[in-house]
Amino acid sequence: MARTLKSILRAQGRLRKLLPVAIIDIGSNSVRLVVYEGLARSPTPLFNEKVLCGLGSNIASTGKLDENGVKRALNALKRFRVLAEQAGAESVSILATAAAREASNGPAFIAEAEAILERSIHLLTGPEEAHYAALGIVCGFDRPKGVSADMGGGSVEFTAVDGQPTGEGVTLPLGGLRLLDAGHGSISETRKIVQSSLKGNTVLAKAQGETFYAVGGTWRALGRLHMARCNYPLLVMHNYEISTDEALKLCKRLMKNEGAAVRGVEAVSSNRRALLPYGAVLLAEIIRIMKPDRIVFSGLGVREGYLYSLLPAKVKSADPLITASEEMAVLRARSPKHARELVKWTDDAFKVFGISENRSERRYRKAACLMADINWRTHPDYRGDQALNIISNANISGVDHPGRTYIAMASYYRHEGLVNDEVSPAIRSIAPQRVADRAKLLGALFRIAYLFSAAMPGILPQISFAAAKEGDVSLRVPAALADFEGERLNRRISGLGSLLGRNIDWTDA
């Protein structure tokens, strides 16, 4: 272990203030190990492995954990124990959920698993499981409001969320494996079970018209299927959203065809396909009761919620997107301090230009500034395309898909120029025109800033834009910095002026 930690501290691609933490999640369908870079506001997985054991495959009919599933799970736990040690995990938390909690042979399984892992297992109660799943939504979204629902193999946990979980969650025996077993493979029978169980669900009824946050592998598979069917260009599941009408159409098709003949199903892993119709039955009934404004899929759940619960209050209150962007700057930018100066400089410029921003747009601009220089080691001919790819697909949270395109396109325009609109049409299609316009404007500012600063701090705080006569703009530069003037810089200043439809004159500060 000491040797592993020493290696971690030497690694330049890792945040030095963090040591790895691991979670082993013993679910009704899968058993998973995730080793995270550290206990942080925006958790980053270092290692992730799962085994689909199906512990809860027949629990509805037998009341017991599946015998073969138990064997597979115990074998997986042996491997996970040594992998966590190899990864240098400072701590290892083990969580077990519905199947182990409810099965008659659950205590014997837990005892054997604890002997293998040489650690105690936290057997979550239903309310605890609901609470941590909701904290996963709090961890991964900006000011979430609606209902979090975590569909596992054995149960579903519903919790109201309004910035934080509100009230106690509700746990129901409606997991995918349980429905498959209890409904005897019949969609009509499954629908009756679901309708009966959801009758009187106050969490859903009180949140009518709000957002439904879908957590869990079955629903992520449903989201993946929707992506494939509409040829969606950004294959990032977290914060992928669809309208309730689109979701209901897909659910009806899955229930009708039982998943097998649905176009695009090849995009879903084969071991998830059998549960798609059961996730569809449940989601369709939820939509009928809650009438949500949209369905949003989450890549974060119980594991991340549990880690979030361990954070100090000050860290919990931090913005996950900005935190992750600052970490990217520390790891990959030439100067994180320059990145922070760029935030203030562009903020002042937008005010002078009269560019209005809502709260989300300000967050996205700040994140774009922090990540503007993360691919400087790339060959110059490919920096624009790589920035677009890396940032739009980055493992970050607290940002929707149009926001990802804003951040990525700003860096694209910085490297490729303002007249090069060959940015991926597919990615561009995600961004509304307002987002695209602001991304280009921000890219134009980046193009000027980096020619002044050479990506180093100290210069940007000395230069500024100011309103001039007849709506024009002046760029105020101290006389001591007059030698920075040059043809290339002047062309970029003119390009910004053309974008704004104003003249920009260089003046002494």
pLDDT, tens only, 147-185: 999 999 999 999 999 999 998 899 999 999 999 999 988
Give the pairing type, strands 294-297 and 464-467.
unpaired
What's the confidence (pLDDT) of residue 139? 97
Query: Average pLDDT for residues 15-43, to the nearest whole number?
Result: 94
Distance between first and last Cα of the chain: 57
Q: What is the pLDDT of residue 5?
A: 56
Residue-wise pLDDT for 103-158, tens only, equals 999 999 999 999 999 999 999 999 999 999 999 999 999 999 999 999 999 999 99
Per-residue model confidence (pLDDT) at position 242: 97
Q: Considering just the CA atoms, what is the radius of gyration of the chain in Å?
A: 25
Sheet holding 211-215, edge to edge: 165-172, 156-162, 145-151, 211-215, 294-297, 240-242
**Percentage of residues in the chain having pLDDT higher than 70:** 96
| Domain coordinates in residue numbering, the chain | 2-123, 127-304, 320-508
Residue where the block lists tokens 């996970």 = 80
Domain covering 2-123: architecture: 2-Layer Sandwich (3.30)
Give residue 6's pLDDT: 58
Same fold flag, 127-304 and 320-508: no
Both tokens of residue 14? 């890792």
> CA distances (Å), 177 to each of 106, 170, 275, 409, in order?
17, 19, 7, 42
> What class, spelled out in words, does domain 127-304 have in CATH?
alpha beta
Question: How many degrees, rounded to 5, is the angle at CA 399 between CA 398 and CA 404?
Answer: 150
Would you tell me the crossing angle of helices 401-416 and 433-453 to the nearest 10 degrees? 40
In terms of phi and psi (left: phi > 0; alpha: psi -120 to 50; beta: otherwise), the region of 506 is beta
Neighbours of 185 (CB within 10 A): 13
Q: Measure the CA–CA gap between 350 and 465, rounded to whole angstroms.
A: 9
- CATH architecture of the domain formed by 320-508: Orthogonal Bundle (1.10)
Statement: residue 49 has pLDDT above 80: yes
Per-residue model confidence as pLDDT tens digits over 421-478: 666 677 778 988 999 899 999 999 999 999 999 999 999 999 999 999 888 999 999 9
Q: With bands split at pLDDT 50, 70 and 90, how would you rate the model's confidence at 420?
A: low
Q: pLDDT value at position 7? A: 56
Q: Is the pTM of this model over 0.85?
A: yes
Strand partners, 126: none
pLDDT score at 290: 97
